[in-house]
Amino acid sequence: MTSSFNVQSATGYEQLMGRWSKQLAPLFINFSGLADGERILDVGCGTGSLTFALPHAADLREITAIDFSPVFVEAAIKANTDPRIRIQQADACALPFADDYFDRALALLVLHFVPKAEKAVAEMRRVVRPGGVVAAVVWDHFGGLPGMRMVLDTAAMLDENADQVRARYCFQPMMRPGEMIQSFAAHGLVDIEQTSLMIRMDYQSFADFWQPISAGEGPLGKYVSALEPAQRVKIDAAVKAAYEAGQPDGPRSFAAVAWACRGIVPEV
């Protein structure tokens, strides 16, 4: 298996995550760096949160975006109006590009959904020229995403299977402290730096928070949509109570922290 990402629809993804990855993209670009005239590869572009932010940050020569999901590729192609942007279906673990072609390869919220994430890092390094940059961001599901932890911690009290789901969710590839640094170093990248990037996920109401998960989007959506109806009713109600936390339903804001790592391809 080359992708563990659960895709239902592009609009559902926008509601679940695209609206937040759009906020994270400029922070990631700032961390990764960008210069006029460069060729950039966006690995795992999804609906294009990073792809479409890139031309606002520099006067780039070429932006190539790939994703494993044909649903997302089709949506991103439809949304594109910039002739410098090329979007295609491809696997991060077998990038269909020549060695040293790009100035930077960037992956926003992707590597934790690639079961063989090491292979994707190796491929990103291969297609970047000496002196160029490889950079990636993954959510810190264990310690940095309290809104989503709230769902799985609540479910784990009511459903013994949720324990395993939580274990997998908290420790997806590249999420452990220092894991990306070690991987980047193992692939020969140098001058490696890691930081935490933070945004806030602001919801209008419980329905705004729960609707995309309830509709089956993403890893939590996959879990809740497989529940027996009676169990589902219990878990929906318990998560709503956790969201409300003893106050009337309404807006809530959750911090969301991601690990970001960048390294340079050594000059030969």
Ligand X SMILES: C[S@@+](CC[C@H](N)C(=O)[O-])C[C@H]1O[C@@H](n2cnc3c(N)ncnc32)[C@H](O)[C@@H]1O
Which residues would be at the binding site for ligand X (CB under 6 A)?
2-3, 5, 17-18, 21, 44-46, 49-50, 66-69, 72, 91-93, 108-110, 113-114
Minimum Å distance from CB 68 to ligand X? 4
DSSP-derived secondary structure letter, 14: I
DSSP-derived secondary structure letter, 94: B
Residue 45's identity, in one-letter code, is C
In angstroms, the CA 243 to CA 264 distance is 42
Minimum Å distance from CB 244 to ligand X? 27
Minimum Å distance from CB 233 to ligand X? 28
Minimum Å distance from CB 101 to ligand X? 17
Please, what sign has the CA dihedral across residues 28, 5, 44, 187?
A: positive
Q: Which is nearer to ligand X, 71 or 238 (CB)?
A: 71
Minimum Å distance from CB 114 to ligand X? 5
Question: What does the block give as tokens for 215?
Answer: 């509709």
Residue nearest to ligand X (CB): 46
Q: Which is nearer to ligand X, 6 or 231 (CB)?
A: 6
Q: Which is nearer to ligand X, 41 or 264 (CB)?
A: 41
Per-residue CA distances from 221 to 54, 251, 261 (Å): 29, 21, 28
Q: Which is nearer to ligand X, 108 or 151 (CB)?
A: 108
Residue 261's identity, in one-letter code, is C
- Angle (CA) 28-207-166 rounded to 5° is 60
Q: Which is nearer to ligand X, 104 or 159 (CB)?
A: 104
